[in-house]
């Protein structure tokens, strides 16, 4: 009986430690990613690479690699980093199949990597993307970035795989979950422009310009504001 109690206490302590580790690293990641701090991201990635037995931390590692490739490196280096992100994301999902964030991080990495592959390969990867992002939404219905990813998927893939109505539904859901996320409205603006619903597109782009920046997405929000101004000029 005493051994069982000791084991349970140890498991409880370890769960607290791992929980604190995830919270600390995830908070650090969000700040670095928000302000696009390249040097800090490199240091964080080095730290994250040392965690191999925690699915949630591996998910941060996968997500951080993808975001770093999005904004922190030159174009010719992106594909290699996305491939690394997919590799790490697969490990996270294998370790914990019920981790919604891990499925999202893997799906997002797959979506980015697919842009660098041929038509046939990218179509196969689209199925993997759908599987993991859908799983992320099912496991974590409040994960607004997963809805953004799915909204962009239905908007940007070629006919007959696109579906503007579904894209709108996913993007509006993301905006409902996190109303202060500037990019939800920017992506809606791009959707409505593509859909030739120009009045709605203008409404979204104007909204982006007027909104305050989301603290978790400062640099992305600034970029979206500048892009929205250009889109409005083109829609005149």
Q: Exposure of 143 by Cβ count < 10 A (0-12 exposed, 13-18 middle, 19+ buried)? A: buried
Question: To the nearest whole number, what is the mean pLDDT of the chain?
Answer: 92
- pLDDT tens-digit series, residues 81-139: 999 999 999 999 999 999 999 999 999 999 999 999 988 788 889 999 999 999 999 99
Whether 13 has a pLDDT exceeding 60, the answer reads no
Task: Identify whether the C-beta of residue 124 lies closer than 8 Å to the C-beta of residue 159.
Answer: no
User: Quick one: 19-140 is in which CATH superfamily?
Assistant: Tetratricopeptide repeat domain (1.25.40.10)
Mean pLDDT of 31-51: 97
Q: What is the pLDDT of residue 9?
A: 39
Mean pLDDT of 145-160: 96
Mean pLDDT of 5-22: 49
Kindly report each contact of residues 160-163 with a partner whose C-beta sits within 8 Å and lies 24 or more positions away, as own/partner. Answer: 161/126
Q: What is the pLDDT of residue 120?
A: 78
pLDDT band with cut points at 50, 70 and 90 for residue 20: low
Task: Identify whether the C-beta of residue 106 lies closer than 8 Å to the C-beta of residue 136.
Answer: no
- pLDDT tens-digit series, residues 193-209: 999 999 999 999 999 99
- pLDDT tens-digit series, residues 177-191: 999 999 999 999 999
Task: Identify whether the C-beta of residue 31 lies closer than 8 Å to the C-beta of residue 67.
Answer: no
Whether 7 has a pLDDT exceeding 50, the answer reads no
Mean pLDDT of 60-85: 97
Whether 37 has a pLDDT exceeding 80, the answer reads yes
Least confident of 150-154, 159-163, 206-210: 159-163
pTM score = 0.90
Q: What is the pLDDT of residue 133?
A: 98
Between CA 58 and CA 46, with CA 134 as vertex, the angle to 5 degrees is 15
Q: What is the pLDDT of residue 4?
A: 52
Task: Identify whether the C-beta of residue 137 lies closer than 8 Å to the C-beta of residue 92.
Answer: no
Whether 1 has a pLDDT exceeding 70, the answer reads no
**CA 3 to mean position of chain CA atoms:** 43
């Amino acid at each position: 009986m005493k051994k069982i109690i000791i084991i349970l206490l140890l498991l409880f302590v370890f769960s607290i430690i791992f929980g604190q580790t995830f919270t600390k690293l995830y908070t650090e990641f969000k700040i670095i990613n928000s302000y696009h701090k390249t040097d800090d991201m490199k240091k964080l990635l080095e730290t994250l690479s040392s965690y191999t037995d925690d699915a949630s931390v591996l998910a941060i590692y996968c997500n951080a690699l993808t975001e770093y490739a999005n904004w922190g490196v030159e174009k010719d280096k992106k594909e290699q980093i996305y491939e690394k992100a997919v590799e790490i994301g697969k490990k996270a999902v294998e370790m914990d199949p019920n981790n919604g964030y891990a499925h999202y991080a893997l799906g997002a990495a797959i979506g980015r990597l697919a842009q660098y592959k041929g038509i046939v390969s990218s179509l196969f990867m689209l199925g993997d993307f759908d599987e993991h992002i859908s799983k992320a939404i099912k496991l974590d219905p409040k994960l607004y970035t997963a809805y953004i990813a799915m909204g962009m998927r239905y908007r940007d893939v070629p006919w007959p795989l696109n579906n503007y109505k579904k894209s709108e539904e996913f993007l509006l859901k993301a905006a409902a979950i996190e109303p202060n996320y500037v990019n939800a409205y920017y992506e809606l603006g791009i959707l409505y422009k593509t859909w030739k619903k120009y009045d709605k597109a203008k409404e979204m782009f104007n909204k982006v310009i007027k909104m305050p920046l989301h603290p978790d997405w400062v640099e992305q929000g600034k970029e979206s504001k500048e892009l929205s101004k250009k889109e409005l000029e083109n829609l005149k």
